[in-house]
Amino acid sequence: MTGTLLVAAAPIGRAEDASGRLRAALAEVPVIAAEDTRRLRRLAADLGIAPVARVVSYYEHKEQARTDELLGELRAGRDVLLITDAGMPGVSDPGYRLVRAAIAEGLAVTVLPGPSAVTAALVLSGLPTDRFCFEGFPPRKAGERARRLAALAGEQRTMVFFESPRRLPGTLADMADAFGADRPAAVCRELTKTYEEVRRGTLGELAAWADDGVLGEITVVVGGAPEKPGLSEPADLAAAVAAREEAGTSRKQAIADVAKENGVPKRVVYDAVVQAKKVTDLLPGGGTRPSGECKEPG
């Protein structure tokens, strides 16, 4: 019998948020892989637990070396508890490599669910929660960060980021440039802790607020881009196809692209192109006819 890898969510602030399953695992498992062994022992002490496990460190720079060792423990039939300083292992914390390696070997992996700064901040932000994405930490270098944020400017889902307090002012300013200063957002600080604070406002307002300095663990939530109304009039759809054709896109591909971008069936766009061609053919002197023949969209 092989052991089971237990991926455990740790409290993000208050020790009393630890689940009953985490408490039991801390007291019983034979091996614990912790991002910070000192913080793990402090958590156990706060919970009144004296672990019997062999505790090993499992942080970013030791992931590769420790993974083989922990797989050996699992193969030998010993359960391994994987825990980070706060939140869920693998979510901007060590753990992904070990989980992937265990799955690849067909070893049992389960999760002990619990606190998450991502979902806590999402709910507290007051922004839409029906669709969201987690973007982790933005790049540290200003140029790379600006490019990454620019690529997200059209993202319509609510976005959740982690950030360090030192880089927060620059990141919020870059977000205001990329997404617009009036984009709604929230900065969540020290979630579940004594000095928990949630600041809501526009990115421009939050960037100005952060200039005075912010301390603590930071999660930033940004509203998605407003949905752009799609084209619906046949003449507008046909013109969009014609513009793409002039840019070098084939007619078939242009019809497919316009249909997808505007949320209409390809047949509707095709019919609009056919109708536009008929109108052009009726112009005095023959007008300017679109190049090529209109064929049924594939």
Give 96-107 pLDDT, tens digit per residue.
Answer: 999 999 999 999
Instruction: Could you list the beta-strand ranges (E) of 124-228.
Output: 132-136, 158-163, 184-189, 197-202, 218-222
111 φ, ψ to 5°?
Answer: -125, 140
And the tokens for 237? 């759809």
Q: Is the pLDDT of residue 228 over 80?
A: no
| Mean pLDDT computed over 247-252 | 92
Question: Whose structure tokens read 């910070």?
Answer: 36
Task: For residue 214, give both structure tokens.
Answer: 């912010």
Least reliable range by pLDDT among 61-65, 155-159, 219-223, 268-272:
61-65
Residues 276 and 240: their CA atoms lie apart, in Å, by 12
Strand 197-202, strand 184-189: pairing: antiparallel
| DSSP secondary structure of 21-84 | HHHHHHHH-SEEEES-HHHHHHHHHHTT----SEEEE--GGGHHHHHHHHHHHHHTT--EEEE-
pLDDT number for residue 226: 87
Q: Which of 69-83, 250-264, 281-295 has the lowest mean pLDDT?
A: 281-295
CA dihedral 290, 291, 295, 298 (to 10 degrees): -100
CATH code 3.40.30.120 for 118-222: no
Helix (H, G, I), strand (E, B) or coil at 105: coil
What Rg value do the Cα atoms of the chain yield, rounded? 27
Vertex 211: Cα angle to 188 and 195 (nearest 5): 35
pLDDT category, 284, cuts 50, 70, 90?
A: low
pLDDT band per the 50, 70, 90 thresholds, residue 131: very high
Return the percentage of the chain with pLDDT > 70, whole number: 94
Residues 55, 83 contacting (CB under 8 angstroms): no
Comparison of pLDDT for 220 and 285, the residue scoring more: 220
At 264, the pLDDT band (50, 70, 90 cuts) reads confident
Return the number of other C-beta atoms located less than 10 Å from residue 202's C-beta. 17
Predicted confidence at residue 290, as pLDDT, reads: 44
To 5 degrees, how large is the angle CA 75–CA 80–CA 84?
Answer: 140
pLDDT at site 285: 57
Q: Taking the model in full, what pTM does it have?
A: 0.75
Amino acid at 255: I
Q: Please state which CATH number belongs to domain 4-115.
A: 3.40.1010.10
Q: Which residues contact 48 (CB under 8 A, 6 or more apart)?
A: none
What does pLDDT average to over the chain?
A: 91
- Write down the pLDDT at residue 292: 45
- Alpha-carbon separation of residue 15 from 20, 112, 277, 288 (angstroms): 12, 15, 70, 74
Report which DSSP code applies to 199. E
Beta-sheet strands, E only, within 113-207: 132-136, 158-163, 184-189, 197-202
Using CA atoms, how far apart are residues 244 and 203, in angstroms rounded to an integer? 35
| 160, 97 contact by CB (below 8 A) | no
Name the percent of the chain lying above pLDDT 90: 79
Q: Say whether 292 sits in a helix, a strand or coil.
A: coil
